């Protein structure tokens, strides 16, 4: 597969056309951002860490019945994916109260949310990704009622599968954000599933093992990401 022209550059990934119809290449760059792009850095190896973990989770989810856009890795930071028409929703599943839900509502950090809470935000940086509800999603024609139902069902399945595999590594899945897209009538999990879009706590120590280390300067974020990649994929990776 040959990489062709740049289609789209986001805050941490770039998407390229290819010489094959219906297939794109996603480049995981070394850029890291937080707070709507208010904090930005470029950190060596960051792209390959996120690509490796995303590939690992996409393969695991696909084996367990989740349709994903993942087709395969081209190299450490380039992923071949199915071309999707992206749905501009940020689908967040929360198992434990942390982050914005604690800032915006009277939840205590660390409180278990059982059943898990799904929050759906409108993916629009210029509007600071405002929270939606089902009526707004339908009125804005962001998804049909049937697609919304399916998205929520798949999000909960992804949650259950991720909770299970991370628990085996001694990691608590606090929350995560995923995005979906369509090819024809079929909904696929798109984007990435990595430390940038999840909140992970060490089960024993409570240590943050995700982008919160960068957001709140809790330590060396690349040292943490490197450790998490090894822990999740169980493979040694050079620093």
Rounded to a whole number of angstroms, the minimum distance from the CB of residue 104 to ligand C5P is 9
- In order of 23, 50, 53, 79, 166, the CA distances from 73 in angstroms are 13, 12, 11, 4, 22
46 binds ligand C5P (CB under 6 A): no
Cβ-closest position to ligand C5P? 99
Of 24 and 162, CB closest to ligand C5P: 162
Rounded to a whole number of angstroms, the minimum distance from the CB of residue 55 to ligand C5P is 18
99 binds ligand C5P (CB under 6 A): yes
Select from 4-12, 39-47, 59-67, 171-179 the region that touches ligand C5P (CB under 6 A).
171-179
Rounded to a whole number of angstroms, the minimum distance from the CB of residue 207 to ligand C5P is 15
Select from 95-103, 153-161, 164-172, 227-235 the region that touches ligand C5P (CB under 6 A).
95-103
Select from 2-10, 56-64, 175-183, 228-236 the region that touches ligand C5P (CB under 6 A).
175-183
Of 130 and 239, CB closest to ligand C5P: 130
Rounded to a whole number of angstroms, the minimum distance from the CB of residue 176 to ligand C5P is 5
- Give me the residues paired with residue 39 across strands: 34
Give the contacts of 171 (CB within 8 A, at least 6 positions apart): 200, 201, 202, 203, 209, 228, 231, 232
Counting other chains too, the contacts that 63-69 makes at CB distance below 8 Å and 24 or more residues apart are 64/157, 64/161, 65/157, 66/154, 66/157, 66/158, 66/161, 66/189, 67/154, 67/186, 67/187, 67/188, 67/189, 68/188, 68/189, 68/190, 69/181, 69/188, 69/189, 69/190
90 binds ligand C5P (CB under 6 A): yes
Q: Which of 58, 60, 176, 225 binds ligand C5P (CB under 6 A)?
A: 176
Query: In the window 115-154, what residues touch ligand C5P (CB under 6 A)?
Result: 129
Query: In the window 187-206, what residues touch ligand C5P (CB under 6 A)?
Result: 197-199
Select from 13-21, 109-117, 139-147, 169-177 the region that touches ligand C5P (CB under 6 A).
169-177
Of 103 and 168, CB closest to ligand C5P: 103
What does the binding site for ligand C5P look like in residue numbers (CB under 6 A)? 90, 92, 99-101, 129, 175-177, 197-199, 211
């Amino acid at each position: 597969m040959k990489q062709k022209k740049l289609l789209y550059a986001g805050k941490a990934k770039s998407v390229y056309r290819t010489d094959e119809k219906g297939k794109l290449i996603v480049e995981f760059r070394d850029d890291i951002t937080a707070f709507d792009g208010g904090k930005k850095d470029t950190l060596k190896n960051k792209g390959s860490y996120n690509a490796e973990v995303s590939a690992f989770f996409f393969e695991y989810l696909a084996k367990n019945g989740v349709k994903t856009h993942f087709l395969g890795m081209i190299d450490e930071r380039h992923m071949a994916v199915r071309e999707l028409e992206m749905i501009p929703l940020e689908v967040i599943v929360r198992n434990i109260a942390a982050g914005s839900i604690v800032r915006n509502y009277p939840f205590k950090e660390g409180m278990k949310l059982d059943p898990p809470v799904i929050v759906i935000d409108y993916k629009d940086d210029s509007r600071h990704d405002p929270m939606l509800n089902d009526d707004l999603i339908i009125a804005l024609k962001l998804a049909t009622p049937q697609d919304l139902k399916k998205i929520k069902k798949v999000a909960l399945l992804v949650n259950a599968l991720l909770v299970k595999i991370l628990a085996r590594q001694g990691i608590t899945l606090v929350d995560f954000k995923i995005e979906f897209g369509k090819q024809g009538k079929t909904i696929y999990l798109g984007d990435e599933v990595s430390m940038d879009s999840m909140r992970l706590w060490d089960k024993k120590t409570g240590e943050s093992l995700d982008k919160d280390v960068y957001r709140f300067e809790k330590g060396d974020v690349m040292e943490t990401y490197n450790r998490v990649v090894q822990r999740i994929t169980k493979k040694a990776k050079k620093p």
